Every structure is written in C-alpha cells, then in structure tokens.
Structure 1
Amino acid sequence: MDPKFNEIFTSPWNEIFKVVSFPDRIYHAQYLNATRCSRYRYNVQEVRSYLDIIVLKGEVYLDGLFLCNFLRIEYKSSRLVEQSREKKRLIEDELIAWIKVIPENLQNVAEATVKLHYCHWTDAYQVEIWETLEPPGNTSHDYRVLDQMGYYRPITRVREFNPALQDIKAIKKVELAFRESDRHLPMGYPIGDNAAWDNGYMSTHQEPRSPEPNAPENTVSDKNYLLNFQRGWFLQTQDIAPVRYRDLMMNHFDPASTNITETRWLVQRELGGSMVSFHEDIVPPGAEQGTHQHIGSEELYYITEGEGIAYLRVGDDPATDKYPTVERDVMGLGKKDFKEIPVKSGSVVFTKSGGMHGIRNSGTQPLKFVAFLYHTV
C-alpha cells in the first residue's frame, strides 16, 4: 500500500472518525498466510465483508518482485456452527467453501470448491487462492511458506479461477456458500449428503417482477452470499419500480383489502457488514404496515414526507410514556400495548432486536420514509 496513506490515516483531522481505512489487521496484512516470512509482501487492493465473511483480493510479491494475484476468503462460521450443532456435530478445524468468481468478462466466470483451514491468528477459517504457486525462475519459496502450499492447503491454486485471477481488478462479484468438511474430525467417518450448509440461511431479496401485490415472483431466493466489488453507486429513487404489498405484516390477509403499501428496494445484496437493505416505503392515506417484532435484527425509519402514527411497544422507549397507549395486533404474537406517536418529516423511529413497531398514515398525502434494516449479529 502507498505509505502516504499512513500519514493520511493518522493525521489529526482523520483521527476524529477513523473511517478512511479498513482495520489495521487487513491494511498492514500482518496475518495473511505468507507473512510468516519477510520475503513475502501483500498488496491488498480491495476488501469486502458481509456478516461472518471477508473477501480480500490483491497482489503477492516475493523478494520485492510481483509474483501473482490472489483471492483470500475468511469465514467466522457462527451460522454454520448452529447448523452443525443441530446435527449433533462440531465443525472442527476444516470446512469446505463453494466459490464462484464473476469477472467483467463473463466468459471467465468460474466456480469451484476449496477447503478452508482454521487460523488462530484471525480466529476464522481461511484460504488464499493464488494465481500460481510456482516461484520465479532461479528462486524458491521459503520453507515456512512452502509447507502451506498445495492442493487443499491454506495457500492453493484453483485452475478454473486462473483466467479471472489474471486481472484481479476485473473480478466484480464473488458468490459463496459454506459447508462442513467431507469427513468428521477426529473420528474420520464420511459426512456426505448429510453435511450442514450455510448458504445464506434462507435469505431472499426483492425484485419488482410483477405489479400484483404480494406476487411470489417478487421474492427471489438467494441460496448463497454475494460480495460485490463495485466501488460506488448513483441511484435515482424515482427510477426504481416499487414492489407492492397488501396487508403487510398483518395477521390477516384479505384479497380485496385496499391496505396496499409500496417499497422501493434501493440497495440490498450490495451492502456489506450486517446490512440487509436500504429501502423507501410509501404508505398511502389510511394504509398501514402492521406492528411486528424484530428478533436478531434492527430497523431504523427516517420520515421524509407526510404525516402518520408510529407504534412502539410500551416500555421500549421510556421517553414515549407521555403518549397515548393503544392495543394493537402484533404479527404472530397476539395483542400488545403500544404507544401511539405522531410522526412527520424528520421523525426517526429506531427499533432494536426484541422491540416492536409499526406505522400508519394518518394524513391526506402519502407517508414516505427510508428504512435501514440490518442484522444484530
């Protein structure tokens, strides 16, 4: 990395926020596999993360000379641990990852399975896929790194990925799924088709394929994780068609109901960290989104237009005690007491895991708000 970046990162005006650099472990590349020998250096060019997953891509140098491009996968495995425990097993020291690389040239799209190895330094399962394992002519690899190299080793080569790895900057997307190893450790018996998988844990995203409210084709099953290496997006909200919902998050469903709301799904799978979606909701006059509980997720509403009534469960925010108490039907949980809170442009409703909320348009114009939804773990 450019040493000037250190000066930028540690300057007093950037010390305030510390948002211009990925955490030091990645920036300094201290714990990548070949750094146990000072002959090797990494140039980490891009990093993407989502929940338990980190994907890095960049270059490897040997004795100061460019050696090859690489792709590194790290996986913390908290979801797979739960899946495996349901089968009465522990996941031990090795996992298998299904990886699909999607470069700009779609002719070079490729997929393969590789083995991940547990690393105590990073407290994660990891593998580095190098473009080549061959040292330049008249040189050799250091023995401290050579013992990590090879088929199903922490530093490996995947022949199918080589066309994409030749231009590391052109790799725009990586799809991933994770499963238990092919054999149970330490007993050694084969796991086979009974293996536990973490392939997005039933995650879906929304696409406006049909204008019909609650159309099933608008919900798309992902069946994997997607990390996107695009660096920026410019979006015009009005250019994105909304998905329409009838009786959203209500205990009842009436095909003739006029309680229809719209959601513009602005950014979904492109988000990193624990983010699920950033979207705009439009609630017509008299319509509502039903009260519901969040478990393992949080959501923040920021009202941009219109007037309405927001509902927070009694006790969720003590500052709302002054507002009227009403009984509301909670999706799947029966009736609960809520505070009835007037909202307008500039109002914020923030609900943590375990909290309950809902919203209704009480005005004569559409009620609009943007929402951030994200996992808490």
Structure 2
Amino acid sequence: MDTRFDEIFTHEENEIFRVVFFPDRIYHARHLSATRSSRYRYYVSEVRNSADGTAIKGDVFLGGTRLCPVLRIEYAGIRLVEQAREAGRRLGPRVKAWIKLIGDDPAHAAEAVLTLHWDSAIGAYAAEIWGTLEPSPGAAHDHRVLPLMGRDAPITRIPQLSPLLGSVRRVQFAFSEEGVLHPTGQRFEPRWDNDYLRSHQEPRTQEPSSPQNTVQDLNYQLDFQRGYFIPDAADVPPVNYRNAMTDPDNPERFDANVIRMRWLLQRELGSELVFFHEVTIPPGTIEGTHRHIGSEELYYVVSGRGIAYMGDGDDPATDSYPLVDRQVFGIGTVKCRELPVEPGSVIYTKSGGVHGIRNPYDEPLKFVAFLYHTT
C-alpha cells in the first residue's frame, strides 16, 4: 500500500471519506499466515471481495528479500453454514475450495482444489498459495511458520497455479464441506456453496426469454481489473424478456409484452452485488409485480413516464397513493400502492418488499437498476 495514503486518511477535511477508505486499510493490517514471525512481511497489492469470499494478492518477503507471489483465499462460510444446517451438520475445522485462476490472457488458466483452515484470528477459513515453499538461498523458514506449510496446509504450493500467481486477473471459486464429519471421521456427501447457483445473462439471441441467454456459472468470481468504462450503454446489446415476472394466468400477459435489459455489469461487481443494468419498458408493456426475498433492488428512472407498484405498507409515505390489487408473481393477489414515476423517481425495495412497473404511455420508459443479496 502506498504510505502516502496514511496521511490522506488523517485529513480532517476528508473525514467523510473514512467510510470509503476504511475497507482498503483493514485488509493491509489483517492477520496473515506467516506474520506470527517478524521475519516475514507481506506486500498486498490487491484485495477483492464477494459476499462470503476474499482474494488477497501480493508478495511475501523473508528476511527483507522477496520470496514469491502469494494469493490468499478467505471464506466466511455463512452460506455453507446454512447448507450444512439443512443436512443436520455443523462445519468442521476445514472446508474445500474449487479455485480457478485466469491470467491476463484468458487462454492462460488453471484450476485446483484447495483446503481452507479455520483461522480464529479473522473468523474465517483461509489458506495461502505461495509460489514456492523453498526459502531464499542461505535462509531458512522460521520454526513457527514451517509447521503451517505443505500439501493441504494453511500455506501451500499448487504447481499448476504457481505460474499464474503474479499475473492473475480473475479468480473463480466455489466452496464445499470437507466431506468428513468432525471429530468422528464419518464420511458424507458434501454440500456446496456456488454463489446461489450463480448465472449471468448474455445477448446470444434476440428471441425473448430464450434459455440461450442464461449462462450457468455456478461459482463466485473476483476480478482484479481496476476500472470499467462504457462509452454509451445504448451500444450494449439488450436481452429481451417476454412477460417477465408474470404468471401464466395473469391477465396482463400477452405475446407482445417484451421488455429489454442491457446487462452493463454483472460478475465484475464485488461484495453482494449481483447486477447493474438498464431496463426499457416499451409503450404498453409491463414488468410484472414481484416480491423480493433475500435481495434488495433499486430503480432510478432516467427517461419516460410510468406507473410503479409498491406493496401497501412497504413505505408508509406512500399511503396517500391509490390502493389497488396486483397479481404478484408466484404469490397471488396483494394490495399495492400505485405510484406515478418520471425521470428522477426512485423505487427501492428491500427483502420482503413488492414492486413492479408498467408503461401506459406512448414513449419508452427507461430506468437503471442494481440488485444485491442481503447477508
């Protein structure tokens, strides 16, 4: 980390930015595996997060000399805990991680299975992949660190991943139980956390609601690219959806009810974020009213006019708006407030909330939206 950052952080006029800078600082002060000995130092160059997982990329130094690149994987296990609970188990002291590293050239990729160990210092499972476990010429590993090294150990080397450690651009992973009941040693079929059966959307065909547009990923992805520039979102090909969020018996369904979504950012996003996209509701069409469970979504209207729906009581400030019955996708009839929207209008729906939107006017209605899982 650039040491000049410490001074910036203390400027009183920048007090508001502490909440912005804090996460980037804490990773550099965090406990890492070899820091139990003062002979080892880490230089952390990049940190990326998903909802439950973290990838820390950098270098490790021994006795002041750079030893090798390192990639540290951390996993909080929140989602896997729920999987284990469903099976009547608790997570043990270790979990498995399927991991794939992708270099600057996407053709350069390798995958492996990594054992993560519970690290009480950070409250998560963790392991470090080092480029080498051999000490520098003329040096020796510290006796406090040496027992942590080896195959399936907290500090390990995976030969097929070593060439990518210094140039890794993307990390994909999924996590599972170890498959061994602790402490009895009884074996079982492990449950997986693959990021909620993660998929993403691609405009492979303009046929509305075609399954060809859904790409099954089944893993988390962390991207070390530092920025993204989209000169004009209108140039991003949309994916079309017919009768989105409407049941077959919904009277508002009709063949021409097709809305368009430009998927601007999906797997590039970190933390719990799932997507950021632009939605177009053509004249006379509708996005069905639906309920969010375990996720939150925000709409910001950028052009056109429309009628949005929000569950009655979801926001008490809407109590003065007309009360109507809406058929909610998969739920049945629910009382909703009918809200007029125009450029600048915001609809924010938390877990358990209801929303939908239609366009009864003669110009397209456009809004941008982002969604994230609640954890």
Which amino acid counterpart does residue 264 of structure 1 have in structure 2?
R
User: Are the counterparts in 2 of residues 177 and 225 from structure 1 also a CA contact under 8 Å?
Assistant: yes
Match of 1:368 among 357, 366, 369: 366
1:147 aligned counterpart, secondary structure: helix
Q: 1:240 corresponds to which residue? A: 236
Matched, 1:286 2:287: no
- Does residue 171 of the first structure (1) align with residue 168 of the second (2)? yes
Corresponding letter in the other structure for 1:90: R
**Partner in structure 1 of residue 263 of structure 2:** 265
| Contact 1:247 1:253 (8 Å CA) reproduced | no
Q: Which secondary structure does the structure 2 equivalent of 1:9 belong to?
A: helix
- Tell me, in whole angstroms, the C-alpha distance in 2 between the residues paired with 1:54 and 1:48: 6
How far apart are the structure 1 equivalents of 2:260 and 2:237? Answer: 9
CA drift of 1:70 comes to 0.2
Residue 306 of structure 2 corresponds to residue 308 of structure 1: yes
1:13 maps to 2:13: yes
Task: Provide the rounded CA distance (Å) in 1 between the counterparts of 2:95 and 2:368.
Answer: 39
Give, as a single letter, the amino acid of the residue that structure 2 aligns with 1:317.
D
Equivalent residue for 2:121? 121
Give the CA deviation at 1:220.
1.2
Residue 209 of structure 1, aligned match among 192, 200, 204: 204
The offset of 1:25, in angstroms, is 3.0
Residue 208 of structure 1: SS of its match in structure 2? coil
Cα deviation digits, residues 94-143 of structure 1 (max 9, x gap): 01111110012445411111110001111000000000111111111111
Larger deviation, residues 103-112 vs 154-163: 103-112
Distance, in Å, in 2 between the alignment partners of 1:297 and 1:182 is: 30
How far off its partner does 1:183 sit?
2.0
Equivalent-residue separation in structure 2 for 1:262 and 1:341 (angstroms): 22
Q: 2:187 aligns with which of 165, 185, 190?
A: 190
Shift in Å at residue 50 of structure 1? 0.7
1:94-173 superposed matches below 5 A = 94-106=94-106, 108-165=108-165, 168=166, 170-173=167-170
Shift in Å at residue 200 of structure 1? Answer: 2.1
Is 1:275 the counterpart of 2:287? The answer is: no
| 3-state SS of paired residue (2:23) | coil
C-alpha deviation, 1:256, in angstroms: 5.5
**Residues in 2 aligned to 1:375 and 1:105: alpha-carbon distance in whole angstroms:** 31
Q: Which amino acid aligns with 2:171?
A: V
Decide whether aligned partners of structure 1 residues 149 and 271 sit closer, same or farther in structure 2, where only a CA change above 3 A counts. same
- Corresponding residue SS for 1:20: helix
Deviations 1:188-239 (A, max 9, x none): 1223xx1111122212111111111111111111111111111111112111
Which of 345, 348, 356 is 1:347 aligned to?
345
Task: Report the Cα distance in structure 2 between the residues aligned to 1:232 and 1:252, rounded to whole angstroms.
Answer: 42
**Of 196-205 and 150-159, the range deviating more from structure 2:** 196-205
| 1:338 counterpart residue number | 336
Three-state SS of the structure 2 residue aligned to 1:22 is helix
Structure 1 residue 253, shift from structure 2 partner:
7.1
**What's the counterpart of residue 79 of structure 1?**
79
Aligned partners of 2:305 and 2:340 also within 8 Å? yes
Q: Is the 8 A contact 2:56 2:73 kept in 1?
A: yes
Paired letter, 1:131 = G
- Which structure 1 segments of 5+ residues have no match? none
Is contact 2:243–2:254 with CA below 8 Å preserved after alignment? no
Counterparts of 1:253 and 1:59 in 2: how far apart (Å)? 59
Q: Distance in 2 between matches of 1:338 and 1:105?
A: 50
**What is the rounded CA distance, in whole Å, between the counterparts of 1:219 and 1:276 in structure 2?**
14
Q: Over residues 292-329 of structure 1, what are the superposed CA-to-partner deviations in whole Å (9 max), with x where a residue is unaligned?
A: 00011000000000000111111011111111111110
Return the letter of the residue paired with 2:236: I
1:44 match: secondary structure: strand
**Distance in 2, Cα, partners of 1:107 & 1:265:** 24
**Is the contact between residue 98 and residue 114 of structure 2 (CA under 8 Å) also seen in structure 1?**
yes
Structure 1 residue 147: Cα displacement: 1.4
| Partner amino acid, structure 1, of 2:182 | L
Cα distance between partner residues in 1 of 2:25 and 2:92 = 28
Contact 1:268-1:278 at 8 Å conserved across structures: yes
Aligned twin of 2:25: 24
1:77-97 alpha-carbon deviations (Å, 9 max, x no partner)? 111111122222211100111
- C-alpha change, 1:253 and 1:230, in structure 2 (3 Å) is farther
